[in-house]
Amino acid sequence: MPEGAKVLVVDDDPVTRNCLAEYFAAENYDVIVAETAEEAGRIAVTDDVDLVLLDIRLPGKTG
């Protein structure tokens, strides 16, 4: 994936979400974070996201 690509990190656990976000940001990716599947869906529709890292066990809706 090219440097500066957008990565959407979706996880309800703040430690996991922040760890992944920090890792990809350190590798020069543009990182967007979401806590819920609903929030991730809105972001995925409005932003040009290159990669989605999605937790499969989210509250409300699963990944």
Query: Comparing 6-15, 30-39, 54-63, which segment has the lowest mean pLDDT?
Result: 54-63
Q: Spell out the domain ranges in the chain.
A: 6-54
User: In this model, does residue 50 exceed pLDDT 90?
Assistant: yes
| pTM for the full predicted model | 0.88
Cα gap 54→33, rounded to integer Å? 10
For 14-30, the pLDDT digits (tens) are 999 999 999 999 999 99
User: In this model, does residue 4 exceed pLDDT 80?
Assistant: no
Confidence of residue 62 (pLDDT cuts 50, 70, 90): low
Q: Which residues contact 19 (CB under 8 A, 6 or more apart)?
A: none
User: In this model, does residue 5 exceed pLDDT 70?
Assistant: yes
Burial 13-33 (b: 16+ CB within 10 A, else e): eeeebeebbeebeeeebebbb
The topology under which CATH files domain 6-54 is Rossmann fold (3.40.50)
